[in-house]
């Protein structure tokens, strides 16, 4: 889409209309800068159209479907139940379109000029669009994000999918192999298993190996209950038709293979060689604490500048980068970037919960929480790590609504809160958020609903 005629000069050009890019563009416009936003695909990028929003939409639908089928324990007896996969996909697609149109409205309202197409740097102050137009800029922000990493021998095709296409199926496959047991692979495995697919995960290391073992083990147990086959320490070797051979010697047929082994920064065809921008050994754009690259006229935000590759990190960096361009004394100095896995149970963490010298870790089980018992959602716990001054260094939540609750933990850590600050704050009863209050009470040696011992 193009709004109006292209100016030859602008204060700021943003390359990439994902969550980091459009946030940067809008914030810069708020600060009085003229802004051009270049996006080759869809506003909102991968998050709104292919990843975060679509996956959580489908996970919600899968959870509803599964819960209805298994509601007899609550006295709800359901007869025949079926799933219309095409209608499910339509809801998922309509949700993304609605959000994309919302982003377009915001850009238009802030007089951000949106250009559909590609952009290639021709110098540190100019770039060429796919249309052939040239734009001269004072500053530029690279917000091109990342793309699914390709696995040799399992290149993407008709029945070998990346996470984007796995979230755009209009049918429920009977069998699925997921290569990679990270958070994306686990989320996709859980949602399709609840819809009735026989899922196998092949993972070289372990499921969620970058997360706390206690949390990962609960998810592994739940995946087994959902009849997901876990092939730990196993990698795919070859594929012939529907048959995939694994390194453990087994060969099985799968309708769909999903490759989910990570993300790679998208810097292809940006013409960075025509600038002073530098990449690190993994291909990510190097930036300082103000998100400025080695080229003083060019900044970079989000996945393209390295991990953690999370949408909310990109959003925050988009704000910071825009303020830096506008001359404000802003910097990316956040203490913590919270993370969440929408697995079953959910996992969310802010800070570190590693027990080491000077750090104490306290755990509160959801089996001692009233609302968890009432809703039969006791599979989980909360951990808090604190130092000798009772300052909170990390909180991990495993269980219902973990992703929603973790923001309280992130705020506490950013503000340097103590165990007392949280424990003495009244939390609504009965809610899952009480578990954060309970675990901090335990950390202070005054646990109220769980006996930690004398």
Alpha carbon distance 315, 55 (integer Å)? 19
With 0-12 / 13-18 / 19 or more C-beta atoms within 10 angstroms meaning exposed / middle / buried, residue 214 is middle
Q: Choosing from 46, 60, 110, 429, which is the catalytic residue?
A: 429
Alpha carbon distance 220, 186 (integer Å)? 9
Q: How many CA atoms lie within 13 A of 148 on its CB side?
A: 26
Beta-bridge mates of residue 450: none
Q: Backbone phi, then psi, for 35, in 5-degree steps?
A: -135, 135
Q: Backbone phi, then psi, for 191, in 5-degree steps?
A: -65, -40
Is residue 429 flagged as an active site residue?
Answer: yes
Rg (CA), the chain: 24
Alpha carbon distance 218, 247 (integer Å)? 26
* 8 A C-beta contact, residue 83 and residue 195: yes
Our CA angle for 365, 313, 427, nearest 5°, is 35
Q: Which residues contact 87 (CB under 8 A, 6 or more apart)?
A: none
Provide the token pair at 112. 């951000």
DSSP characters for 115-165?
EES-EEEEETTEEEETTS-EEEEEEEEE---EEEPPBTTB-S-SSEE-HHH
DSSP characters for 374-413?
HTT--S-EEEEEE-TT-BEEEEEEESTTHHHHHHHHHHHH
Give the number of other Cβ atoms within 10 Å of residue 78's Cβ: 10
Provide the token pair at 427. 């939390």
* 8 A C-beta contact, residue 340 and residue 397: no
Alpha carbon distance 176, 178 (integer Å)? 6
Q: Which residues contact 142 (CB under 8 A, 6 or more apart)?
A: 15, 16, 267, 270, 277, 285, 293, 298, 299, 300, 301, 304
With 0-12 / 13-18 / 19 or more C-beta atoms within 10 angstroms meaning exposed / middle / buried, residue 384 is buried
Give the residue numbers marked as catalytic: 429
């Amino acid at each position: 889409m193009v709004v109006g005629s292209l100016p030859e000069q602008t204060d700021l050009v943003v390359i990439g209309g994902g969550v980091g890019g459009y946030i940067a563009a809008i914030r810069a416009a708020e600060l009085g800068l003229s802004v051009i936003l270049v996006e080759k695909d869809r506003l909102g990028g991968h998050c709104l159209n292919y990843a975060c929003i679509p996956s959580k939409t489908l996970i919600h639908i899968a959870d509803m479907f599964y819960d209805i089928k298994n509601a007899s324990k609550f006295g709800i007896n359901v007869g025949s139940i079926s799933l219309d996969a095409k209608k499910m996909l339509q809801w998922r697609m309509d949700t993304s379109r609605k959000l994309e149109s919302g982003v377009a409205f915001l850009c238009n309202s802030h007089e951000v000029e949106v250009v559909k197409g590609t952009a290639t740097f021709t110098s540190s102050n100019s770039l060429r669009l796919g249309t052939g137009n040239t734009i001269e800029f004072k500053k530029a922000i690279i917000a091109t994000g990342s793309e699914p990493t390709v696995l040799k021998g399992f290149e993407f095709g008709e029945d070998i999918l990346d996470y984007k296409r796995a979230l755009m199926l209009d049918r429920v496959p009977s069998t699925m192999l997921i290569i990679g047991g990270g958070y994306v692979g686990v989320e996709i495995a859980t949602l399709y298993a609840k819809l009735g697919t026989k899922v196998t995960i092949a993972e070289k290391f372990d499921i969620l190996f970058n997360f706390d073992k206690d949390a990962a083990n609960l998810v592994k147990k739940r995946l087994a209950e959902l009849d997901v086959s876990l092939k730990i320490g196993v990698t795919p070797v070859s594929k012939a038709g529907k048959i995939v051979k694994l390194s453990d010697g087994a060969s099985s047929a799968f309708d769909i293979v999903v490759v989910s082994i990570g993300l790679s920064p998208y810097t292809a065809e940006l013409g960075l060689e025509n600038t002073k921008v530098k990449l690190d050994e993994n291909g990510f754009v190097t930036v300082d604490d103000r998100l400025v690259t080695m080229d003083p006229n060019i900044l970079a935000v989000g996945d393209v500048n390295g991990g953690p590759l999370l949408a909310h990190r990109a959003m925050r960096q988009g704000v910071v980068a825009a303020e830096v361009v506008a001359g404000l004394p802003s910097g990316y100095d956040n203490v913590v970037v919270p993370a969440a896995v929408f697995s079953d149970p959910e996992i969310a963490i802010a800070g570190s919960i590693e027990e080491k010298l000077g750090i104490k870790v306290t755990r509160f089980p959801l089996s001692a929480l009233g609302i968890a018992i009432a809703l039969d959602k006791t599979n989980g716990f909360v951990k808090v790590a604190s130092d000798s001054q009772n300052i909170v260094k990390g909180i991990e939540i495993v269980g219902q609504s973990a992703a929603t609750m973790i923001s309280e933990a992130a705020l506490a850590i950013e503000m340097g809160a103590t165990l007392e600050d949280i424990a003495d704050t009244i939390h609504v009863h009965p809610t899952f958020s009480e578990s954060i209050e309970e675990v901090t009470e335990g950390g202070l040696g005054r646990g109220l609903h769980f006996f930690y011992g004398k």
